Copies of this chain bind each other. A is one copy, B any other.
Amino acid sequence: MQYSNRVLHTPSSFIRNILKVTDSPNVISFAGGLPNPISFPLEKLQESINRAIDKNGSKVFQYASTNGYLPLRQYIADKYNRNHNLGITADDILLTTGSQQALSLLAQVLINPGDGIIMEEPGYLGAIQAFTMSEPSFYPVTLEKEGLNLDELEVALSQPHVKFIYTVPNFQNPTGLTYSAERREAIYDMIKDKDIILVEDDPYGELRFEGEDLPYIAAGKSTNSVVLGSFSKTVTPGMRLGFIISKNKELMEHIETAKQASDLHTNIFAQYAIYEYLTHNEYKDHVNKIIDLYKSQSDIMIAALEEFFPENVEFTRPQGGMFLWATLNNGMTSLEFFEKAMAVDVAFVPGDPFYTSKQNVNTLRLNYTNSSPEVIREGVKRLAKILKEVPVAVK
């Protein structure tokens, strides 16, 4: 059987394959991107689920509309208008089967084979995977401390058939970096007159433990803006509930068609349940608890990295979210490091799958949200021991 080019070119998820190897109680894993289970409001969710059934009966189990449960879309619109001044209505929102589906749908409706996508480098590997299924040309732009490199962005914008730019402006996956206010404005100035969609994928935006919220790059200003949101990092990822926000009516109509073709509609039970949760609980208090937890875990990991790691290893200091990003600078690739780390039962994600055009890189992603303070310190210690045994070399 000859399989499709698109699937033959699409990597199966490096992380998910790593997780299969590292899914042992002996392994200290900084590899996953799992929210800490404390971020699931278990009892309140159970109450909400029962209330949703009691109030709505068989409707929570029946087929439903493709764009999603109206009261939930209205809730999301109100929240983004209040917090981000987006000026949107419920009709500017479509609920998706996790925001991973939103990535897949965007590429499906915008990309013919060879059309361009401008990607942060390094960039979110789930997005690389979803987009690859539509056979794009990737134009990677270096993600610096302040955001996309503007010179490289200008070159990328001049490439043929560029359809959209994919960004994670807050606490980026994999780097933990956040775009500065100035860089956001500069990027907007460069794209505002172009027929190119600016995607701002923002699953972590609410999980800020340092600094002030910043305005989106294009959302609220341009109809060529798309914002992706999710309940995965603050309520539950297992229920797969994300959403697309855009005031671009034509885009949203095509996305609705692609969504119908993909899975008819998003699980309606999950939509009712999460709506009940959001409207009957102090969501902000709950999010604040997650923030406090993740801040303490991030602080502990950074302190351990400072204490134990050799000085030639650089790492980012996230203002929120779930990850930080290390650069080895000792001549070792992160895949070599990964093998040695697995020998001492510590896992992380080597940088390679976050690049569309580079291999054998010396960068890696560390997740801190799913380990206890003691385990974080112990894991960092073991990694440091490996690094200190390696003579510094230039490859």
Q: Which one of B49, B57, B257, B264 lies within 8 Å of A49 (CB-CB)?
A: B49
Contact status of A261 and B4, CB under 8 A, knowing A62-B34, A63-B237, A237-B63: no
Chain A 228-262, CB within 8 Å of chain B: the 1/0 string?
00001000111110000000101101101110111
Q: Which one of B1, B42, B132, B133 lies within 8 Å of A163 (CB-CB)?
A: B1
A294–B50 Cα distance when bound, in Å, is 29
A261–B125 Cα distance when bound, in Å, is 10
Whether A58 lies near B46 (C-beta < 8 A) is no
Taking the nearest CB of chain B, how far is it from the CB of A119, in angstroms? Answer: 15
- CB neighbours (8 Å) of A57 from chain B are 37, 42
A240–B66 Cα distance when bound, in Å, is 12
A7–B134 Cα distance when bound, in Å, is 12
Nearest B residue to A4, CB-CB: B112
Whether A66 lies near B262 (C-beta < 8 A) is no
- CB of A157 within 8 Å of the partner chain: no
- CB neighbours (8 Å) of A163 from chain B are 1-2
- CB neighbours (8 Å) of A260 from chain B are 12-13, 16, 129
Of A102-110, A166-174, A205-213, A385-393, the stretch lying at the interface with chain B is: A102-110
Whether B263 lies near A104 (C-beta < 8 A) is yes
- CB of A362 within 8 Å of the partner chain: no
> In chain A, residues 1-46, which have Cβ atoms closer than 8 Å to a Cβ of chain B?
1-8, 10-13, 16, 32-35, 37, 40, 42, 45-46
> In chain A, residues 163-184, which have Cβ atoms closer than 8 Å to a Cβ of chain B?
163
Interface centre among A6, A33, A50 (most CB of B within 10 A): A6
B-binding residues in A (CB < 8 A): 1-8, 10-13, 16, 32-35, 37, 40, 42, 45-46, 49-50, 53, 57-66, 96-98, 100-101, 104, 108-112, 115, 126, 129-130, 132-134, 161, 163, 195, 197, 224, 232, 236-240, 248, 250-251, 253-254, 256-258, 260-270
Q: Beyond A4-B108, A133-B262, A269-B270: 4 further Cβ-contacts under 8 Å? A: A4-B112, A37-B62, A62-B238, A238-B267
